[in-house]
Amino acid sequence: MKILVAVKQAAFLDDEFEMRADGRDVDADFFEKDLNEFDHFSVEEAMLIKEAAGDAAEVVIAIVGDEDADDALRTALAKGADRGIRVWDDALAEADGVAVARVLARLVEREQPDMVFTGAQSADFGSAVTGMALAGLLGWPHAAVVCNLDYTPGAKTATLRRELEGGLEEIMTIRCPAVLSIQLGINQPRYASLRGIKQAKQKPVDELSLDDLGLSAADIAPVARVRKMYAPERGKAELITGSAAEQAARLAEIIKELRGM
Amino acid sequence: MAELLVIAGQRAGELHPASLEAIAAARSVKLAGDTLAVALIAADPQALVGALSVEGVDEVIAIKASDDFQPDLTEAVILALAEARKPALIATAHGVDAWSFAPAAAVKLGCGLATDVQALRLEDGALVATRAGYAEKVLVDLDFPGKETVLLTIRTNVFEPAAGSGSPKVTEMAAPAADIATTHEGWKPPADAGGIDIPGSEFILSIGRGVGDESNVEQFLELAGGMGATLGCSRPIADNGWLPKARQVGQSGQLAASCKLYIAMGVSGSVQHQWGMKHVETIVAVNTDPEASIFSIARYGIVGDMFEIAEELQNHF
């Protein structure tokens, strides 16, 4: 029994940042990278299933990314996952969610997991594409924004809840294997223990290229082309300065004025 | 002479209001001679034809099937319509259902794809879609060279819902064969709001992760009460069970629909949270981190400790 969890290293910007010379992305010097917040929940869900089954499931973490992404992969492994796979090729530098899904589809064929999890979206771009595109490529059952899951490794069906708008949830059963995108709040993600962090460094990680997966650069062509990226025009907040008492007094004024008090 | 297609949605037979926003988005790039068709899957699609007969809609495609959302069926419908009609654009609301079906349909179709699109335009005949990136800190203009069809999911609360009356022709379409892997088993309604009304509140004081601990929440309930504000929160506070879900502002919670003054304390301002409050005319952000993205949408900013500010603020009410 095996659960494959596909994770991402999300990029965050410093407050001040500059665009790359071609104007199609931010200069990489201004990135701060970390494991995508949603992926803490998908990894945790896989770990909970593994533990409930008395360890009778292997949890494999997959990531598409360069050497930098190794940190995010190890963060996930430190929570107790068994091993990792990292796929990289310079041709993936501009990979979008669909391109990543094409890589993951090959990994799924190779690994034959019983279940695949992704985060519901990434915290940086929030496209919410990779997981469900993967399901489309595989022809697998799929559900997005899963906020509750009842699944035993190897079972033919799972029961889940999808989180809909306004707090409503839908209960559904789904045929397995399936691809599920996992929502925040489905569980309480654990922090890695010191021992876990130490062990994560020793855990096996397969490093694969596109070639290893039988993919060419043409196979991972993006589904959209970035024409340009730019900072939106918007006013900066007017800063209220002074001591806490002065700041609060000004805020009270604003409240009273706007509320007609 | 392009064909534009909108995939409308319904829940338990009620039209998703955001479907009208997706229609408005498609209509914004409709040129003379183009046709705009809206497809809807429902147990009684005819009952919703009236609601979809808005200005600019030339055809409503009614597909009679279960009211249950089944991504496999929606994808089969999109594939069948795309093959038959070769639409230049397929638009649908960026709702939770679309999260399930849109990427899967796009890869099956091999079409262009962009999600959470907040603006679109034609530039020299080419469709250009704009979406945000890096936690809303940048905008990205995307185009789709070489793609005959482009599928876009449209961010909600951006386009004014399509209105005006139209008299579209109604086409009945048999549900295509689909291998349906999901079964609707029921609903879990949101917990009773207990009188908390985020959408109806004009003044909201919201707290985020900065509150730190459950025991710190009470003082903000008191402060909100004293100021005549409704206490709201960001997702982690509700996920931790420190405040009920009915107070959560954001994509998976409530929309601060009537709010005119929004004070965000210790809220970093994730995309999901911004979804629920970004439109508010006066936003005041209080945060120790001057780089928190909430400051980029706030009118007033206080870089400081939310507890100190709250304590001082209490003296004024």
Among the partner residues A185, A229, A238, nearest to B300 by beta-carbon distance: A238
CB-defined contacts A:B, below 8 A: 254
User: Residue B137: what pLDDT?
Assistant: 84
Minimum CA–CA partner of A258 in chain B: B261
Q: What is the mean pLDDT of residues A247-251?
A: 97
Q: What is the mean pLDDT of residues B143-150?
A: 97
In tens, the pLDDT along A27-41 reads 999 999 999 999 999
Name chain B contacts of A235, Cβ cutoff 8 Å. 299
Among the partner residues B102, B142, B188, nearest to A226 by beta-carbon distance: B142
Phi-psi region of B184 (alpha: psi -120 to 50; beta: other; left: phi over 0): beta
Mutate which of A17, A124, A129 to test chain B, going by most B C-beta atoms within 10 A? A129
Question: What band does A15 get if pLDDT is binned at 50, 70 and 90?
Answer: confident
A33 touches chain B (CB under 8 A): no
CA distance A10 to chain B (A): 9
Among the partner residues A131, A172, A223, nearest to B183 by beta-carbon distance: A172
pTM as predicted: 0.92
CA distance B43 to chain A (A): 18
Name chain A contacts of B290, Cβ cutoff 8 Å. 15
A234 touches chain B (CB under 8 A): yes
CA distance A61 to chain B (A): 22
Taking CB atoms and an 8 Å limit, are A255 and B261 in contact across chains?
Answer: yes
Do β-strands A9-13 and A31-35 pair in parallel, antiparallel, or remain unpaired? antiparallel
In tens, the pLDDT along A149-197 reads 999 999 999 999 999 987 899 999 999 999 999 999 999 999 999 999 9
Question: Does residue B60 register a pLDDT over 90?
Answer: yes
Taking CB atoms and an 8 Å limit, are A244 and B317 in contact across chains?
Answer: no
Taking CB atoms and an 8 Å limit, are B309 and A124 in contact across chains?
Answer: no
Which residues touch B156 (CB under 8 Å, ≥6 apart)? B18, B21, B93, B94, B95, B275
CA distance B167 to chain A (A): 30
Which residues touch A215 (CB under 8 Å, ≥6 apart)? A102, A103, A106
- Please give the ipTM for the structure prediction: 0.94
DSSP B175: P
Taking CB atoms and an 8 Å limit, are A249 and B316 in contact across chains?
Answer: yes
User: Residue B293: what pLDDT?
Assistant: 82
Taking CB atoms and an 8 Å limit, are A124 and B139 in contact across chains?
Answer: no
Tokens of A33: 């990278």
Question: Does residue B7 register a pLDDT over 80?
Answer: yes
In tens, the pLDDT along B257-299 reads 999 999 999 999 887 898 899 899 999 999 998 878 899 889 9
Q: What is the mean pLDDT of chain B?
A: 95
Among the partner residues B107, B142, B304, nearest to A227 by beta-carbon distance: B142
Q: What is the mean pLDDT of residues A217-237?
A: 89
Taking CB atoms and an 8 Å limit, are A132 and B317 in contact across chains?
Answer: no
User: Residue A261: what pLDDT?
Assistant: 85
Among the partner residues B107, B129, B300, nearest to A254 by beta-carbon distance: B300
Tokens of B177: 């064969």
User: Residue B53: what pLDDT?
Assistant: 97
**Among A residues 79-108, those touching chain B with beta carbons less than 8 Å apart:** 97-98, 101
Taking CB atoms and an 8 Å limit, are B301 and A240 in contact across chains?
Answer: yes
Question: Does residue A235 register a pLDDT over 70?
Answer: no
Name chain B contacts of A228, Cβ cutoff 8 Å. 140-141
Q: What is the mean pLDDT of residues A199-217?
A: 97
